[in-house]
Structure 1
Amino acid sequence: MTLDVICLGELLIDFVSTSKNETLVDSPGFVKAPGGAPANVAVGVVKLGGQAGFIGKVGLDPFGTYLKQVLDQLSVDTSYLAFDKEARTTLSFVAQNPDGNRDCMFFRHPGADMRLKPEDIAEDYISRGKIFHYGSISLGSPSSKAATLKALEYARAHQLFTSYDPNLRIDLWSDPEQARKEINDGFRYADFVKISEEEYEFITGCRSVEECGRYILGKGAKLVVVTLGKKGCYYSNGRISGYVNGFHANVVETTGAGDAFVAAMLMNIANLIKDGDLDKLADEEHLRGLLRFANAAGALATTGIGAIPSLPFAKDVEALLV
């Protein structure tokens, strides 16, 4: 089976606060929601009409079983989702502070996702994809980093388009400088990079989105997008650059917004690859249309609790675009 997108990385449980504008200390309760940025992207692609697979590892525990069931029910291919007998599924507790920033705490000492190994990566499976998507969290432990690099080696050998989310979760790193170095190293494998306005200054040292775009393009990327929340996004491919406005949304919780954006971009890029039209990414009008679609998907993902449950279907995105 050919897959539009193969995602590698963390699959976890987000316990999302039932109360808005409360810290984790003050939150009265939490709702269980499946999540993990690369897994969210895989689900987002499927909900938008594509085919996606997920490579990762969860614990041999009730949460791991639940997460596999969720992906299976949503038609994400889990052929290379493994169970670990020695580490538990990663858990995350998420709240939104009164200032609008996310308050997040992980239980991962270690999490099963950190124990993904190079031998868990199958070249034949990678070769079936059009796009390979990875994030920075799997670069944070020696085992999962080696697995990610093995997958990237296969992806490049089979000429897959590569996508990277330098997803900054500083609490998952023992040393901020190591986080900055490892996340920066991830840029050199990517054709497409999505980074958020909250992340780019720490990761790149840049003081503006334009400078950030130039910096990441200098690492080898072909297209860089900086997401700007409700304001939309900035984009640059080295030849054309600009801003695309966002969409109004009745925001409940923002966990999966960036992943919905990435899923929408990758679904449309996979369609270009399928049609032999990847050069349309260099056409300003066409690229801005893709980014507008992705902004709409990101906005819709903020209207529910939890990432995977809130990821939009294509019909919902299209309705917002009308």
Structure 2
Amino acid sequence: MSKKFVLIFGDAFVDYIAEDQSNSRFSKFLGGATVNVAAGVARLGAASSFITVTGENETSEFVRNELMAEGVDLSFSQLVPEKEVSGVYVHLLENNERHFERYVDETPNIQVDFSSIKSEAIDQTSVFHFCSGTLFHPTALMTTRKIVESMKKSNVLISFDANIRPLRWKSEEICKKTICSFFDFVNILKLTEEELFFLTNTTTIDDGILQLRPYNIEAVLITIGAEGTYAVINGEVEHVSVEKVIPIDTTGAGDAFVAGILSKIYLEGYPSSIDAWVKYVSFGNKLGGICATKSGALSAMPRLIDLEK
């Protein structure tokens, strides 16, 4: 059976952003790392499918409509009528900086049901991608683990962006242990420099890379902002620089980077050499840089037309 899409699994999320500094009226925007990647992949011309769970209210309908408008397939997503999509209220301060006022998650126990995931979702996936965003929740953790194990058995390429939010976990140790427990399953691991240090209890890139070696991850991509990315390919380390830009908002830059890597793999195949990986990572770096020059996350995700300019 042909491999039809990049499959992304995660939590649908809505950003409620204040329209002015009175912080009394809010506009809705799609948000969340996996949402950004799903839409980013589609914007780059690759087939993108997203597994999440939504409900029957207006907000859930908004999420589905926005994702479909981005060209993201929702055939394998699940609908549970009483599900309330998670969100965050973002206030504007006097200097127009954003302040994350409060998170809303009224139905945390309604998660994707693994038993309801169709076998075609696994059979037709070329690359599977997930984050740690919901791994702190027992049901979400169990579902994620079952999906990852199924993908591994079917020899699907597995991509994991740690995307750590420490405040959502009961303790740092549980966070570290849970995230690292997936490393034996993944082909591609994306970390920020800070996440590398956090997970490996180190303070230098070299020491962090050394601590990850026992997991034998094929590709570890460590983004370091304006300094580019360290690509560790089968143990060989290559620093890939990024073109300098004047950043306006770095929100979503890492998601744009991931979308670039996944779309390249889907459209051109898995890199077979360090030189091929450098090419892909350079592309991801470029997308992250473009994203950082615009405000917002999903709204700043590059399209093919942006690359042609």
Percent identity, aligned pairs only, is 25
Residue matched to 1:45:
41
Tell me the TM-score normalised to structure 2 length: 0.88
Change (3 A) 1:136 1:244: same
1:84 maps to 2:80? yes
Residue matched to 1:308:
298
Match among 38, 58, 65 for residue 62 of structure 1: 58
Match among 228, 246, 253 for residue 232 of structure 1: 228
Residue matched to 1:263:
259
Superposition pairs of residues 99-178 of structure 1, within 5 angstroms:
104=100, 105-111=102-108, 115-178=111-174
Change (3 A) 1:288 1:279: closer
Counterpart of 2:54 in 1: which secondary structure?
A: strand
Amino acid at match of 1:291: V
> What is the distance in 1 between the residues matched to 2:246 and 2:29?
20
1:202 maps to 2:198? yes
Counterpart of 2:217 in 1: which secondary structure?
A: coil
Native 8 Å contact 1:121 1:150 kept in 2: no
> What is the distance in 2 between the residues matched to 1:129 and 1:96?
40
Native 8 Å contact 1:213 1:235 kept in 2: no
Native 8 Å contact 2:15 2:28 kept in 1: yes
Change (3 A) 1:317 1:210: farther
Amino acid at match of 1:39: V
> What is the distance in 2 between the residues matched to 1:165 and 1:116?
19
> What is the distance in 2 between the residues matched to 1:317 and 1:62?
34
Residue matched to 2:289:
299
Question: What is the Cα-based RMSD across aligned positions, in Å?
Answer: 2.7
Native 8 Å contact 1:3 1:130 kept in 2: yes
Tell me the TM-score normalised to structure 1 length: 0.85
Residue matched to 1:14:
15
| Structure 2: 5+ residue stretches without partners | none
Residue matched to 1:185:
181
Native 8 Å contact 1:123 1:154 kept in 2: no
> What is the distance in 1 between the residues matched to 2:266 and 2:115?
27
Deviations 1:278-302 (A, max 9, x none): 352xx23322121111011011112
Give the C-alpha shift of residue 9 in structure 1. Answer: 0.8
Amino acid at match of 1:175: S
Change (3 A) 1:182 1:127: same
> What is the distance in 2 between the residues matched to 1:33 and 1:191?
32
Change (3 A) 1:97 1:127: farther
Change (3 A) 1:312 1:63: same
| Structure 1: 5+ residue stretches without partners | none
Amino acid at match of 1:204: T
Give the C-alpha shift of residue 318 in structure 1. Answer: 4.7
Superposition pairs of residues 280-299 of structure 1, within 5 angstroms:
280=272, 283-299=273-289
Change (3 A) 1:213 1:269: farther
Give the C-alpha shift of residue 53 in structure 1. Answer: 0.4
Give the C-alpha shift of residue 155 in structure 1. Answer: 1.1
Give the C-alpha shift of residue 254 in structure 1. Answer: 2.1
> What is the distance in 1 between the residues matched to 2:142 and 2:56?
22
> What is the distance in 2 between the residues matched to 1:97 and 1:189?
43
> What is the distance in 1 between the residues matched to 2:275 and 2:90?
38
- How many residue pairs match? The answer is 305
Native 8 Å contact 2:128 2:159 kept in 1: yes
Native 8 Å contact 2:40 2:302 kept in 1: yes
> What is the distance in 2 between the residues matched to 1:191 and 1:97?
42
Native 8 Å contact 1:11 1:57 kept in 2: yes
Change (3 A) 1:179 1:254: same
